[in-house]
Structure 1
Amino acid sequence: MLHLPIRHTELTVSDPNSVTHFPSYANPVPTSVLPAFLFNKHGGYTCLLNHARRFREKKGIIVNTFKELESCAVKSLVDSTESPPVYAVGPLLDLAGDARSGSDREEIVKWLDEQPPSSVPFLCFGSLGSFGPPQLAEIAAAVEKSGHRFLWSIRRPPPQGVFEMPTDCGGDYDGFLPEGFLKRMENRGMVCGWAPQTTVLGHAAVGGFVSHCGWNSILESLWVGVPIVTWAMYAEQLSRKEWRW
């Protein structure tokens, strides 16, 4: 954001294989992994650009990261004479998790308690992440063929063409998953709606995390030492998924 006012006229997607350079990135960045709004110079882009310009007017900026994770980015910002002081204060985590409670949380933890250590991959794509029935069917086929245990959190997508937040399935997966899938998987996997992510990732039974690469999800998985299989979906998640910048 600090560099956007300087670089915004240079960003183009005319060549999908082109790369660009940012002082806070260790390596050149393919334009294909940058957020789409950077290339749409209309609508909300102007507001975002004005917001970025005002960053330099502040007395300081606090960032939820840490230098061991983003050493190049933190150093470039701390050493910069053109930006306000930047303080890396992370990782800041909500270890208590969502305040929601109920049978789902208890049922999930009880099921995990019955699984061997590091045997369960956890599939969860954030509060905004959802898939339509065709993609859900593909994921279901993959986890079934894998032969592994799994815990899979599913969000109900909004109707096609409607811009709304995904909602909780509430245990109703009819029309979303292949016929007979839940019955076939009842002794090997668990499908749920909302899941207490920090609790799940910290459980001894969880050995992997299939994630959309949201920032909170990355910090939580790093905190508990669970490896991530990346499934970036939108915005800056695409540049995070490889983590070599």
Structure 2
Amino acid sequence: MAGHALTGFVRSSRYDCGNHQRASAFSHASRIHRASLLSVIPAAVALRQNRSQDIHDREDSYAMFSSARLLLLCALTSPLAVAAPARVLSATAYGDITFGSRLVDVEAGLGQKATPAKRDAACAYVSFRKMPKVRFMVENGIVTRADARAGVPNSAGVAVGASLTGVKTRHPDVRITPHKYEDNGHYLIFPDANENAALVMEEVNGKVTAIRGGLQPSVGYVEGCL
């Protein structure tokens, strides 16, 4: 009887020891697995953060690119981006100022008053701050002519200082008449189609010295306003 009890105890002990060993092994494996997971989690979090940062950076870059593209588009289409065309002197106008216009209308269009304010009503020269290189002849309140200094473009494409030979080569049909005061001078005349206005250049000693444009007979006044 005692022998059977001992045998049962031994078997029971072996069974318990086996279970204990398996439980210990499983517990150890679980600890290793948890440790492995814990070591991987920071790396996974960091990777996710890096990916999030990359996405954020790409979104920022795209937003900046879109903003720059929008600004460029606005700049190109803005009226301020379109350069105002240079005013050109011709027989009938200087830029958008047409000879024959009332001075008050020209002042309103430019948004500034002509100077000097006090002048002869019959005939006087005036100027505008926006156009310092041009003087306008005003007769009885009407702008009839403009005298231009060097650097003001004109419809003939001839500049002050150009040679008489060059002008005749470029414009073989130019009308040439003797100068009133200069023995070695001429007037180079470019009339409009109706002969009501002209672009007139003065030439002395083979060089263009002055250019004006306006209505007849005002543009032909050699002395200007007397």
TM-score range, shorter chain: under 0.3
* Higher Cα radius of gyration: 2
TM-score for both structures, normalised by structure 1: 0.20
Greater length-normalized contact order (CA 8 Å, ≥ 6 residues apart): 1
Larger relative strand fraction: 2
TM-score for both structures, normalised by structure 2: 0.21
Larger relative helix fraction: 2
